[in-house]
Amino acid sequence: MNKGRYLYPNDYMADPSAHVFEGKIYIYPSHDWESGIEENDNGDHFNMKDYHVFSMEEVDGEVIDHGKVLAVEDIPWSGRQLWDSDVAHKDGKYYIYFSLKDKTDIFRLGVAVGDTPYGPFVAEKTPIDGSYSIDPCVFEDNGDYYIYFGGIWGGQLQFYRNNKITFPMCLPHSHENALSPKIAKLTDNMLEFAEEPQDVIILDENGNPLKQGDTERRFFEASWLHKYNGKYYFSYSTGDTHLICYAIGDNPYGPFTYQGVILTPVIGWTTHHSIVEFKDKWYLFHHDCVPSKGKTWLRSMKVTELEYDENGLIKTIQGQ
């Protein structure tokens, strides 16, 4: 049983991205609400409209809601569906990277800038040039910042090949290589891609790229990267098989070799997470739908401790 703690029972928050800033844990979730839209595979029922920021000085301490820090109406190029986000800090500024459909209903990545980890954040007038799909994750390594992104089905990654919309907009066949999440280095000002996005390749135990039909291991959405004992751990959701898995590599670009499951299925459909070290312990932030009695579009964020074995492998956490 996952004994994780629910963090904010007063509202529905999902996809928690956790970071340590100013000696505290700050959490950047998406904000679920009862939109009244019927469930479908494009995720239209996940019609989130704004972001709140939360903080806590101890993992088992009080969770502070710093209020709404960015909303759809604050973003000049906005259409609808303010999905997952992540935050990075550089030179005294905080940058929130977010997923949002533009006015043509195509997902793009945007960025907004603030002076504190709890905002408010002011959005750039246009999306990041060359960006697409969903679920940004920003990782700093030796002073360089990298952004990971992508998600299939409602996340529209299947629309693209070689960073361009390609027809037909469909997934590869099951025997073909799986679609890959993307990585791009960010410019010094943190507002643009410094290079063309590249594939993040996930390999099996034989060194071959995972296949699209390998649904219990292949990438679906929810990229996250963290570093442990000099190795790079790329973790992600398998989507329709409801697992959080991980793979290990030697640098931020990969390739990454599949290692196993971090979190088994939870109550609900989506599984989305972050991993952070705080006061010499590691924690998995994620969500489930237990408080909403299984309504997949009303998720609640929670935290549980994450542990490694003597070989640096992550011990599997039972979702339910």
Task: Name the residues annotated as catalytic.
Answer: 15, 221
Let me know: does 190 contact 111? Beta carbons within 8 Å: yes
Q: Please count the CA atoms within 13 angstroms of the CA of 43 that sit on its side-chain side.
A: 26
Who's near 178: CB < 8 A, 6+ residues apart? 172, 202, 209, 210, 211, 212, 214, 218, 219
Q: What is the DSSP track for 166-191?
A: -SS--PPPTTSBPPPPEEEEBPTTSS
Quote the Cα angle for 276-282-283, to 5°: 65
- For residue 257, what are its two tokens? 């070799």
- For residue 254, what are its two tokens? 């990969």
Length of the chain as a residue count = 320
